[in-house]
Structure 1
Amino acid sequence: MSKQAVELYFRKFGKPEQPTLCLLHGLFGSANNWMGIVKYLQDDFHIITPDLRNHGRSPHHDGMDYTLMAGDLLELFDGLGINGVNLLGHSMGGKVAMWLALQQPERIEKLVVADIAPVAYEHGFDNVFEGLCGLPLDKIQHREEADRLLAGWVAEKGVRQYLLQNLVKQQQGWSWRFNLDVLRKAISHLTGFPEPGRRIFAGEALFIHGEKSDYIRDSYREIMGQLFPHYRQRMLHGAGHWLYAEQPQLFAQAVKGFL
């Protein structure tokens, strides 16, 4: 294993003889986020759901950028003897998927990117980080109290529930599964996207976006077409940024139909 790579925690579903599909979660997420989608796809695919570095049950590491995360995945695929894989990534996971497809196009069969583009975004995570760092973990008695306190920084209950999935209670008290300090330091890298140079992914790519989300804009289509010349685009009605959770059946149908 590369000195820079970490050994990712992952789960497997479906039958090994089926085409392999790797699902990549977003910032502050984990493999568990995909369970509502796995049930629709596991009969047709050999599914791998890793926790990306500094998330979930995967190791913490001071390094946090898309090149490192793509390298972790290559180590995982090599360890499992997987040469060709379909990639599906949401948000940050979508950027990992795109970067890996640009770096190692021969390893990627098809690419699905959920509600993100290969561009730099202005990040609005200051309140989230302030709230997470401001929670007095040594004094919290229960998860409901954490939710009430976090509401002072994060108004949307659904976002708070998503974040608090990472709050775990152990013998020594409450702690975060994700590496909060490193994620905060790396946020400008994570909301950005590396300079691709002349690289392209000439395979088939599908960009799915939510009707209520503004993460995919008309102005991004030029760069999407330059990097992924055979891409197509699909909008899910009634869905926002968390489209796989808001419209799981429609999302899974779109993925399955494309793959």
Structure 2
Amino acid sequence: MLLGLIPRPTATLRHAVSQGLRASPTTRARLFSSAHRIETVPLVYDLHSPAKPTVPDEQTSPIIVMHGLFGSKKNNRSISKVLARDLGRHVYAVDLRNHGASPHHARHDYLAMAADVGEFIKQHGLKEPTLIGHSMGAKTAMTLALDKPDLVANIVAVDNAPISANLESNFARYIQGMKKVDRSDTTKLSHADEILEEYEESQTIRQFLLGNLHRPEPGAKTQVFRLPLDTLAKALDHLGDFPFKNPNEVRFEKPALFIRGTHSKYVPDEVIPVIGQFFPRFTLVDVEAGHWLISENPEAFRKAVVQFLEPQE
């Protein structure tokens, strides 16, 4: 769940689309060489296994589900169980770096998050996985697919696009509110909610953020946010970026499903040509929902994913 990232059809974006996002010939080389120096972290995960598997084990054609900013694997628990059931495949719901129970690291950008997922695939011996990512997780999936296409069978990118976009963001305010909660020595969820209400009117968003509260030690009464707030605050300026600029130099030639919310502004019509340039075998599905379409319209999301991933006769 990545709140407030809105790709606007600016003159720069229109020019990028019309010009095919031309970039320096050295762009791809710089990106790949920098990726080789990335220090990865081991990702914590939940494995959801189907009652009637259609694959021999959890390493064969698994699905990896990735959350958005300020989210965690528990946000995807329900949909992961449903996809495991309907597709007969094992589903790994992961916590990306600096989220949930995964380790914290000073670097937080898409190349780093993609490197973590790539290492996760290698360490667990996963073969031909499907990547499903929402918002920040969607850009992570796209980045890994373009960077290491041999590791990935296909992707499902949920309400985000392979572009650099301006952040029209409430993130900084949310982080300020969460820091205030941390300083308050609160012991009650209701007290933390009262503090956050100064920073966000929507109860839905507040409850989402409060899902990151925890007691850092057994027996502790005070609750704090498990997120590394200073690290994420520094990363905000980069989370609207996309590391690949030139689809003439790098493409993902395997199937890709892009799902967007009809009431969301994250994937405007203007960026569809760019999606096709980076992901020439893409399918676009519109779901009657806003940005949080997995929770807003889970049945439509489920149908789109199952239709995309079901074996074709």
TM-score when normalising by structure 1: 0.94
Q: 2:272 aligns with which of 221, 227, 238?
A: 221
Contact between 2:67 and 2:134, CA under 8 Å: does it hold in 1? yes
Offset of residue 183 of structure 1:
0.7
Deviations 1:160-206 (A, max 9, x none): 11111001124272221221111110111112111344111011111
How far apart are residue 135 of structure 1 and its match? Answer: 2.4
Please identify the structure whose Cα radius of gyration is greater: 2
Aligned to 1:8: 43
Counterpart selection for 1:169 from 203, 215, 223: 215
1:117–1:216 CA contact under 8 A, matched in 2: yes
Residue 55 of structure 1: which of 72, 76, 99 is its match?
Answer: 99
1:36–1:245 contact (8 Å) kept in structure 2: no
Whether contact under 8 Å (1:20, 1:86) holds in the other structure is yes
Q: Could you tell me how far 1:45 is from its partner in structure 2?
A: 1.4
Residue of structure 2 aligned with 1:192, choices 232, 235, 241: 241
Please name the residue that 1:129 is paired with: 175
Q: Give the ranges of 4+ consecutive aligned residues of structure 1 lying more than 4 Å apart after TM superposition.
A: none
User: Hey, which of these two has a bigger chunk of strand by percent?
Assistant: 1
Residue number in structure 1 paired with 2:122: 78
**Partner-residue secondary structure (3-state), 1:173:** coil
Shift of the 173–195 alpha-carbon distance from structure 1 to 2, 3 Å rule, reads: same
Shift, 1:19, TM fit: 2.6
For 1:178, the equivalent position in structure 2 comes to 227
Q: Secondary structure at the match of 2:153?
A: strand
1:254 aligns with 2:289: no
Distance in 1 between residues matched to 2:244 and 2:136, nearest whole Å: 16
Alpha carbons 1:208, 1:235 under 8 Å: kept: yes
Structure 1: gaps of 5 or more residues: none
Partner of 2:80: 38
Amino acid at match of 1:36: S
Is residue 67 of structure 1 aligned with residue 111 of structure 2? yes
Mind listing any 5+ residue stretches in structure 2 that lack a counterpart?
1-36
User: In structure 2, what is the equivalent of residue 152 of structure 1?
Assistant: 198
Seq. identity, % = 37
Cα pair 1:137 1:174 within 8 Å, conserved: no
RMSD: 1.7
> 1:232 matched to which residue of 2?
283
Contact 2:80 2:93 in 1 (8 A): no
